[in-house]
Amino acid sequence: MLRFQRQQTLMKEEKAMTLVEVLVSIMILSIIVVTFLTFFIQSRKTVNLSDDISDATYTAQTEVEYIYHLSETKDFDTALNDLKVNDPDGDGEVQFTKEVDGEKVEVTMSTAKDSNGNVIDDKLKNVLVKVYDQSNKLKGQMETKILWEE
């Protein structure tokens, strides 16, 4: 009889120990799962940011390529007319803004200058394109120098 009572006591203790073990296992598993979820959430945020930067860079590149096309086919003043921009000072420096796919694109074209501020060549233009999102935050930019042949 005493032996039977001991076995029952041991079984009860084992059940209690098994429940504690299960709870500890669930706790450890939860910590591991939360760690991986945090990793995946951060990874998704990084991918979204990368997509935004990539899209903005593509928009800036498209604008630079269009301006390059104009430089190959038209003189500077005619190109400004095509862009619906004028150069009020006549100094070859213009800035204009337009909307492309919900993003603000700001284009600045100026005569290229050396480090001392001297004009290198009247036909060589510095082109800077900046792309902003709806909250006016800079998402991407591209800069190049273009030689206007005509």
Determine the pLDDT at residue 2.
Answer: 59
Say what the pLDDT of residue 59 is: 92
pLDDT in tens, the chain (150 residues): 556 666 666 555 555 567 888 889 999 999 999 999 999 999 999 999 999 899 999 999 999 999 999 888 888 888 888 888 876 676 768 888 888 888 899 999 988 888 888 888 888 889 999 999 889 999 999 999 998 876
Task: Name the residue range of residue 92's domain.
Answer: 2-147
Q: pTM for the full model?
A: 0.71
pLDDT digits (tens, 9 = 90+) for 28-44: 999 999 999 999 999 99
The pLDDT value given to residue 76:
82
What are the two backbone dihedrals, phi and then psi, of residue 108, each rounded to the nearest 5 degrees?
-125, 125
Own/partner contacts of 63-70, CB < 8 Å, gap of 24 or more, are 63/100, 63/105, 63/107, 63/129, 63/142, 64/127, 64/129, 64/142, 64/144, 67/107, 67/109, 67/127, 67/146, 68/144, 68/146
Total domain count for the chain?
1
